[in-house]
Amino acid sequence: MLKLAKEANTILFDYRVPLQNGYDNCGVEVENPLQMNGLPISVYAPETVGCVVVDSEGRCAAATSTGGLMNKKCGRIGDSPLIGAGTYACKVCGVSCTGEGEAIIRGTLAREVAAVMEYKGLGLEEAVEYVMEHRLDGGKAGLIAVSSSGEVAYGFNSNAMFRACATQDGFMEVGIWE
């Protein structure tokens, strides 16, 4: 598994920090009785949710849903769910990405994992490591992936990435940091 370390003076962004004015994106105040950490849930940025699966016959699937960046411009679309950029599945693997969508699009990260597996002959973990080190041209991003043989890998270059893994035989793992 991989977590790429950055220099100590790198600025890390946490998009889950509530807005200062209590408004969500597009400047619209939202009333919501739900609370998290004593604050209305509407002041938190929505998170990306990704899922990759493989069935008993080795068929992979991937899906990604994003809330986008906090304080994004009105009308800005989510980048992570774009097929090939942040979401991809084929005969060798399924990949779902999260992070700064512009960097994910420029690197077509999800498709690149599959491409280096197909054309360089790398295993899933090595492909994820290669893509995170050589195809991500700046920006913070992370990804989860599963191969057609059931191998699981992830990579991220931020301070944390929430993730979980479960198998049909009962194995379960949850992670935030390394």
**Do 12 and 140 form a contact (C-beta atoms < 8 A)?**
yes
Q: What is the pTM of this model?
A: 0.73
Q: How confident is the model at residue 71 (pLDDT cuts 50, 70, 90)?
A: low
Name the one residue in this structure whose structure tokens are 């935030």.
Answer: 176
pLDDT value of position 32: 54
**Do 83 and 61 form a contact (C-beta atoms < 8 A)?**
no
Binding residue numbers for substrate = 76-79, 98-101
pLDDT value of position 2: 42
Residue 1 has pLDDT above 70, yes or no: no
Residue 99 has pLDDT above 50, yes or no: yes
Q: What is the pLDDT of residues 131-149, one digit of tens each?
A: 999 998 888 899 999 999 9
Backbone φ, ψ for residue 8 (5° rounding):
-65, -25
- Architecture in CATH for domain 38-175: 4-Layer Sandwich (3.60)
CA 37 vs CA 4, 20, 44, 98: distances in Å: 30, 15, 10, 24
What are the catalytic residues?
Answer: 48
Hey, what amino acid is at 51? Answer: C
